Structure 1
């Protein structure tokens, strides 16, 4: 049944975009183009605010000639579905987790390696340097060109019953993860039972104890209201998987050099603001969690690091991945 729903959604979106393209094809007359930007987060999320900053910067730089129309809250589908819509040219842009991008552009897998980055400063030195640029541009081979990386903080476990003080505490627990093999391997290696599930289904799954917990960053834990159900948050910070702003090459390749410059500059400028929004949101989120009587625990990370080493070692068997990881470690 889900397949029919997905096909129906894609058909409706395609029809809507075709209507928009009626205006796009007349751009010589109207002198403006509108890019549909779809993502799965609520409008209160700091990543959405970063996208709004990009929207405003692009409108200003282009004098309204190149505009973004945002569709938040998963209105046009899940991360994977929207990426597929970008590939066929029905939607222009999206924001997805780098983990979701790894299903389309394999080199993004490296960003999901547990405990890969020493801290957020190290992460952004990598993402805003040579390695990050190569990853963003490399997606073009798969019709998905990255424009920039957004801060998505560090992911930690939140659970219904008790902290995850050590990996042993995950034994017998079903933990929701993204539909990403590395995330699945990580939870399983730590001793839990990884349960891939759509983000929009998670609140109900937690309420009904279909799963025992999940893992995510502070802003997502708060804006999803999962903290209403899960009262134990263990800050093991097992991964720092950034978000990626992506434009479909079916749109990008039609832009003039000037339009490409406008869009890239708007994206780059939005990164600076998004980092500020993120930091503020984390601070506010921690206050909300404490007021909601969510208990927070900072564990010794070394047992988690040790248990997840097989993931890094497995990826290092690929010469291309080994080169990227070594470059990251040396930065």
Structure 2
């Protein structure tokens, strides 16, 4: 019902993915994040770079804060051509393109450098292109950091400390399997309900990256933050193929170059945000725990084993990533 309400608003205001204004084409870009978020700052870089490269012939109008719906709803708007560009989590994209599931495997990436060598290389680009058959062409990846555990009343120093704890996760099977494999009790829940759920003890904690931990104010109700960095699921900047196919070869080049430039700038914005977020959490009295990550990686090995057993066609892709 909400999806149709959003679509009605779009139609009423005459929004389409590409609107001609004098000699300029305007791309409508929607995402769910606040304007203070480092990903939004990366999108602003994309906007500025594209207008500069095209000398104003391609412009972007941004709709942040979920104005046009959830990630999945906006992806559907791209598919029908009502919106041109969006940013979503690779976890959301895995509902459309199975290869994106691989990027959520715990401890698949050895380091941040390894992760972006993969994402910005042949493997990452091939995954971006696979979305085209679903009308969702990937342009680049944005850094979304590493997810770690935070809890309200019990510190997690080893995987054994997760036993008996209800940990909120995204409604994503790999995230559920990971927490359960480590000994916790995975509890899928809407993100907007999480603050109150932690505060009232409905769940014992959750897992997310530092900027989200702080921007959501979850640090106010969580005393411990354990930097086990179990998964590093990137964000993806996408353009609808219905719009992409209307662009000339030169316009496509401008869009891709602007996206690539924004990806590099966004990494800097992300690192700055992580540093500021950790300082805020520490100042609020949150205990920051640096655990032995190898213990958590060992406990979660079964997630990868089960994944390739269920999806043998993904084995080659996993091996390519490990070999990078």
Q: Please state if 1:298 is matched with 2:295.
A: no
Distance of aligned partners of 1:21 and 1:76 in 2 relative to their CA distance in 1, 3 Å threshold: closer
Cα deviations by residue, 1:2-53 (Å, 9 ceiling, x for unpaired): xx3343233323443xx134982xx3x7121222211121111111111111
Q: Please state if 1:44 is matched with 2:44.
A: no
Cα deviations by residue, 1:115-143 (Å, 9 ceiling, x for unpaired): 00000000000001000110001111111
Cα deviations by residue, 1:96-125 (Å, 9 ceiling, x for unpaired): 111111011000000000000000000000
- Once the two structures are overlaid, the 10-residue window that deviates more, 187-196 or 126-135, is 187-196
Q: Please state if 1:278 is matched with 2:270.
A: yes
Cα distance in 2 for partners of 1:22, 1:183 equals 33
Cα distance in 2 for partners of 1:213, 1:92 equals 37
Contact 2:18/2:28 (<8 A) preserved: no
* Per-residue deviation, 1:314: 2.0
Contact 2:75/2:86 (<8 A) preserved: yes
Contact 1:100/1:179 (<8 A) preserved: no
- Given candidates 81, 85, 93, the residue that maps to 1:93 is 85
Q: Which runs of 5+ in 2 are unaligned?
A: none
**Partner secondary structure for residue 68 of structure 1:** strand
Cα distance in 2 for partners of 1:21, 1:6 equals 16
Q: Please state if 1:20 is matched with 2:15.
A: yes
Contact 1:42/1:223 (<8 A) preserved: no
Cα distance in 2 for partners of 1:195, 1:7 equals 29
Q: Please state if 1:196 is matched with 2:191.
A: no
Cα distance in 2 for partners of 1:231, 1:289 equals 9
- Given candidates 56, 59, 70, the residue that maps to 1:67 is 59
1:312-331 correspondence runs (5 A): 312-317=304-309, 318-331=311-324
Q: Please state if 1:102 is matched with 2:102.
A: no
Cα distance in 1 for partners of 2:174, 2:307 equals 10
- Given candidates 2, 5, 9, the residue that maps to 1:5 is 2
Cα distance in 1 for partners of 2:252, 2:18 equals 20
Q: Which runs of 5+ in 1 are unaligned?
A: none
Aligned to 2:123: 131
Distance of aligned partners of 1:193 and 1:11 in 2 relative to their CA distance in 1, 3 Å threshold: farther
Aligned to 1:267: 259
Contact 1:86/1:93 (<8 A) preserved: yes
* Per-residue deviation, 1:223: 1.6
Distance of aligned partners of 1:199 and 1:36 in 2 relative to their CA distance in 1, 3 Å threshold: farther
Aligned to 1:221: 213
**Partner secondary structure for residue 20 of structure 1:** coil
- Once the two structures are overlaid, the 10-residue window that deviates more, 129-138 or 251-260, is 251-260
Contact 2:162/2:182 (<8 A) preserved: yes
Distance of aligned partners of 1:236 and 1:261 in 2 relative to their CA distance in 1, 3 Å threshold: same
The number of aligned residues is: 323
**Partner secondary structure for residue 269 of structure 2:** helix
Cα distance in 1 for partners of 2:213, 2:201 equals 17
Aligned to 1:182: 174
* Per-residue deviation, 1:151: 0.9
Cα deviations by residue, 1:156-179 (Å, 9 ceiling, x for unpaired): 011111222222322232222222
* Per-residue deviation, 1:290: 0.9
TM-score normalised over the length of structure 2: 0.94
Aligned to 1:147: 139
Cα deviations by residue, 1:44-63 (Å, 9 ceiling, x for unpaired): 11111111111111111112
